[in-house]
Amino acid sequence: MTRTIAATLLLFAATITQAQTRFRVTDVTVTEKGNAIKGNDAVAEIVGSEGDDRLVLMDQNGVWVKTQVRVRTHNSNRSSVKESAVYATFELRLKVDGKGDRRTIQKVFYGEDERKTTIKEKFTVKRGIDVRVITVEFTGILE
């Protein structure tokens, strides 16, 4: 019985002490015709150094913005610069009144570079002759 409890505690301690990567998304702004709406700040928590997480950045007034953040490293036998690179890939999804669109953006952070970026994407949503141009912008920080 004590072995089972000790093994469980050891496993629990190992999972708690495992490194965790965070990608913090702040300053979310959705702009349409000069009207800016603030979205939600969010944190993608990735167990270990590589993986992905999904975040809802905004769900207001018929506009829904979600992103999936994937973080990975690169193994390169020929380049020490590429070997130290960290890739952050964003799949940004926008849904307006039931009609959706998506973009994929990749940012690369090399070596000791500051791991902070600003994403700004413009979406054009058409329904018949009505055209809506919506800009999604946010700041991302890899921690």
- Sketch the domain layout of the chain as residue ranges: 20-142
pLDDT of residue 47: 83
pLDDT of residue 85: 82
How far is residue 18's CA from residue 49's CA, in Å, rounded to a whole number?
10
pLDDT of residue 136: 94
110-113 contacts, C-beta under 8 A, 24 or more apart: 110/81, 110/84, 110/85, 111/81, 111/84, 111/85
pLDDT of residue 12: 47
Is the CB of residue 57 less than 8 Å from the CB of residue 39? yes
Is the CB of residue 66 less than 8 Å from the CB of residue 93? yes
- Please name which of 104, 52, 113, 123 lies closest in space to residue 85, comparing C-alpha atoms: 113
CA 69 to chain centre: 3
Q: Is the dihedral of CA 31, 37, 38, 43 positive or negative?
A: negative
For 89, the enclosing helix (H) or strand (E) is: strand 86-96
Predicted TM-score (pTM) of the model is 0.76
pLDDT of residue 19: 54
Q: Which residue positions in the chain have pLDDT lower than 70?
A: 1-19, 74-83
